[in-house]
Amino acid sequence: MTRVLLVDDDAELSAMLSEYLEQEGLSTHAVYDGEAGVREALSGRYDIAVLDVMMPRLNGVEALRQIRAHSRMPVLMLTARGDDIDRILGLELGADDYVPKPCSPRELVARLRAILRRGVVAEVQPAESERLSLGHLQLWPARLAAEWRGQPLSLTGAEFRLLEVLARQAGQVVSKAALSERGLGRPLARFDRSIDVHISSIRQKLGSTADGRAWIQTLRGQGYLLIKD
């Protein structure tokens, strides 16, 4: 059974979400502050964590920073509705996705399963079943491993899947809707900026071409394009 760590100081909300997750077949354990969340996340007992941003003792952003220093376990952030700063910062620190509060349990489960599906697909494939090679870029989808210019490229799970989608269609424009469906495993929501933030992070990690362009180009109103090396 999938094991979910829920970190939120709202005990009533945590109880309601835990009950719903359990009914959906997700074993859930709740803690109520960031310090406890970090300890539990690094215990190795969980498959995924749900982390609220606003918490006492240690907020969710700092908790995520500490988790990412030691672990690549999937993390979904709960953020205040309309608070773009926390969402963007969380994604830049390596959150796999976010859900605005107040959220419906159904949406939370859907987002969790989308993240978990990406991990399961990677696990069931043979470790060296495929290498995607594109000039300076090497991708091993089964291991979520990447190299850029011969050096390991550190990517979150979401960043890897988005880059993989772009690499498979290098030189072609990929719409945000297609990136969301194929890279994040969910339909593109209105006003959802998570893809933009993930792409910005990937751009920074790839650097610039010899003529100073970003390797991933934005075509306004159309989508993104990965330049062929």
The string of pLDDT tens digits covering residues 182-203 is: 888 888 877 778 888 899 999 9
Domains by residue range for the chain, with CATH: 2-123 (3.40.50.2300), 126-226 (1.10.10.10)
Closest CA to 81 of 102, 57, 109, 107: 102
Q: How confident is the model at residue 213 (pLDDT cuts 50, 70, 90)?
A: very high
Average pLDDT value for the chain: 88
Q: Which residues contact 138 (CB under 8 A, 6 or more apart)?
A: 131, 132, 146, 147, 148
- pLDDT per residue as tens digits for the range 59-100: 999 999 999 999 989 999 998 766 677 778 888 888 988 888
pTM for the full model? 0.67
CA atoms of 174 and 188, how far apart (whole Å) = 13
Q: Does residue 118 carry a pLDDT above 80?
A: no
CA atoms of 109 and 105, how far apart (whole Å) = 6
User: Mean pLDDT over residues 167-171, rounded?
Assistant: 93
Query: Do 55 and 7 touch, CB atoms closer than 8 A?
Result: yes
**Cα within 13 Å of Cα(8), Cβ side:** 26
Buried b (16+ CB within 10 A) or exposed e, 68-81: beebebbbbbbbee
Which range among 2-6, 79-83, 172-176 shows the weakest confidence by mean pLDDT? 79-83
